[in-house]
Amino acid sequence: MKGLIRGLSLISILFLSHTIVSAQGKEPVGAVGRELKGTVTLSGAWAIYPTAVAWGAAFQALHPKVKIDVSAGGAGKGASDAITGLVDIGMVSRDPDPSEIKKGIVPIYILHDAIFPAVSEKNPALGDLLKKGVKKNTLFNLYVKG
């Protein structure tokens, strides 16, 4: 749990240092103060992985003595790795299960992902799709009901 709190604190600093600038427009707030060093480990959802890598790179640019180690492997792995203490932060792209919360998961929502249908220009049905369109109900049945 101590590692999770440390990791969450560091990610909070990462977010602040990347997005908040002092009123004078000088250094980012997170860059002021003592030099940070150490390692923060994250694992989990593929949906969050690109964002975590980008945040980690931005944070490391400001604090080169901090290593951010991000690995993907799925939401279940992120929750499990955080619960067992293998990582500081578990990336989970779903609401935590009540049993995970009982084991110490503290959800911090950072983003939502979405599905955007795409059609290949080589799709033989493209002409009909462009002419007739696709009904919302059809997409719902495909992506939600399977």
pLDDT digits (tens, 9 = 90+) for 29-71: 455 567 899 999 999 999 899 999 999 999 999 999 999 999 9
Does the pLDDT value for residue 109 go beyond 70? yes
pLDDT for residue 104:
86
- Its pTM stands at 0.58
HSE value, Cβ hemisphere, 13 Å, CA-based, for 63:
27
pLDDT for residue 16:
43
Q: Can you give the CATH number for the domain in which 53 is found?
A: 3.40.190.10
Burial of 120 (0-12, 13-18, 19+ CB in 10 A): exposed
Triad 28, 32, 34: Cα angle to 5°: 145
Closest CA to 18 of 10, 6, 28: 28
Same domain, 23 and 41: yes
pLDDT band of residue 117 (cuts 50, 70, 90) is confident
Same domain, 108 and 41: yes
Same domain, 99 and 129: no
Same domain, 105 and 64: yes
* Percent of the chain whose predicted confidence (pLDDT) is above 90: 44
Same domain, 55 and 85: yes
Same domain, 58 and 18: yes
Same domain, 21 and 61: yes
Same domain, 61 and 31: yes
Number of domains the chain is built from? 2
pLDDT for residue 67:
95
Same domain, 88 and 142: no
Same domain, 70 and 89: yes
C-alpha dihedral sign at 132, 134, 136, 138: positive
Does the pLDDT value for residue 6 go beyond 70? no
Same domain, 58 and 35: yes
- The CA distance from 139 to 8, in Å, is 37
Same domain, 86 and 109: yes
Asked whether the beta carbons of 18 and 57 are under 8 A apart, the reply is: no
Mean pLDDT of 76-87: 93
CA distances from 13 to 57, 137, 139 (A): 13, 43, 40
Q: Which domain holds residue 125?
A: 115-146
- The CA distance from 88 to 7, in Å, is 5
